Chain A
Amino acid sequence: MTLRALLLVATALFSVGIYGLLTRRQAVALLLSIEVMANAANLVFVAFARYGGAPGHPLVLFALAVTVAEVAVGLALVLLLYRRHGDTLLELASEAKG
């Protein structure tokens, strides 16, 4: 288990998240993809705390708090979208433009 292998794994995870973000059309699925990407970023933080001694652990804790907040607000928005339109396809939210 080396730093290089860990970074490659995190990059792969992030790429999977990007794929999900670009192909999914349902709002909840987008939130899931964002979770995968945030997870990859956290993995890099922890990897650099183990190799090289960067202060990654407190950062991961703060990132966790931010992610939880994001999920709470995101799900509330999804609920609102569903209540207005009866579905959670993301293109229904285009009325939020401008």
Chain B
Amino acid sequence: MRARLIPVLTMLNGQLYKTTKFKNPVYVGDPLNAVRIFNESEADELCLLDMGATGSGSINFELIAKVAYECQMPLTYGGGLGSLEASLRAISLGVEKICFGSLAVTDPALIYDVSHRIGAQSVAVVLDVFRDSSGTYKLSTQSNTVQSDVSLEDWLLGFDIKAIGDLLINNVDRDGTGAGFDLDLVRSIKQLVGIPITFIGGAGSLDDCRKVVEMFEYVGLGIGSLFCFKGKFRAVLINYPDKAGREFVYYGAPKS
């Protein structure tokens, strides 16, 4: 087993956008072509988060079906999944893991329900995390429009982690900055959780990714900006590392 490099695509109104600290969305383009490029690049997994659906609760199932068709790798979908029905529908369309966000903080009962029905391995939770003035990691909801008072640590203590198969930690402070992953956050989570974890937010280079893997061998790395921009002007260019780049992240050096 090894680490996973996972493109994280964020959507608004059915189109791809990339934010910085969850603000100032930059237009990235059509999701279907981006997914196709990642599929042909043999990406480890793909994560599609619909920021618009989070607020409206209206899920673009047609698009999900098309994206699922293009993915010959596992697909995680999150955004607006507020009912058992919506969750089952997403799964039936070919999504491997359905992902809950705000509900994990406000009303986990639905998550347990869905998990019971389809199995923990098909359920993921994404936590939007920020660091407050005292240095405590806290959770925000509704695409970071609401900062809660719940600390990450308390949430981990209170939530039945075995009900899910994958935990995604989305670092609001590092989002879109390319400033590197928050290694303090990685360090603090690593001890607490016994299930697969994916860190999202801050990857500015493959070196940044490698640093996390050195601390945490089987980690999932959720990547946004690094796989959609290139150069100092942040020109949109969908990209995924080649074999040598991937092996560097997973093993520290190319295998051969």
Check if A and B associate: no
Binding site for A on B (CB under 8 A): none
Binding site for B on A (CB under 8 A): none
